[in-house]
Amino acid sequence: MRKNTTKPGPSGMSRNDAFTLFESWGGRDCLLHINDTSIIREIKVAMGGDSILEFTSPELSTRAQDAYDSLGILNLTFENVWPIFVDMLPLVFPRQL
């Protein structure tokens, strides 16, 4: 991101750098420090475990992975992602197109 001297807080750095290097821009550490990480694990399990980090159902993920694998793609890039998506779409949703 470009530098913007008219905004409050850090500018010209990523959010990760802003939180990690808060002293470099005159900030203060406002993060909540957790000594017992088992509490975080318990909260995560109570909220749904690893599934809370998923964007699709396990069934859709499996269908999409199977479709991708069936195409024999050697290299996924920004240049070929759209044609690969177009090829995968009827494999993932065959009756809906």
* Residue 25, in any domain of the structure: yes
Asked if residue 74 and residue 60 are part of one domain, the reply reads yes
Residue 2 lies in a domain: no
> No. of H helices and E strands in the chain?
4, 0
Claim to verify: residue 60 and residue 43 sit in the same structural domain: no
Does the predicted TM-score (pTM) go above 0.85? no
3 state SS of 86? helix
Determine the Cα–Cα distance for residues 49 and 44; give it in Å rounded to an integer.
5
- What is the model's pLDDT at position 79? 95
Domain range enclosing 76: 54-92
- Amino acid making up residue 68: Y
Asked if residue 97 belongs to a domain, the reply is no
Please check whether residue 89 is in contact with residue 96, taking contact to mean a CB–CB distance below 8 angstroms.
no
Measure the N-to-C terminal CA separation of the chain; round to a whole number of Å: 40
Residues 29 and 44 in one domain: yes
pLDDT digits (tens, 9 = 90+) for 35-61: 999 998 999 999 989 888 889 999 999
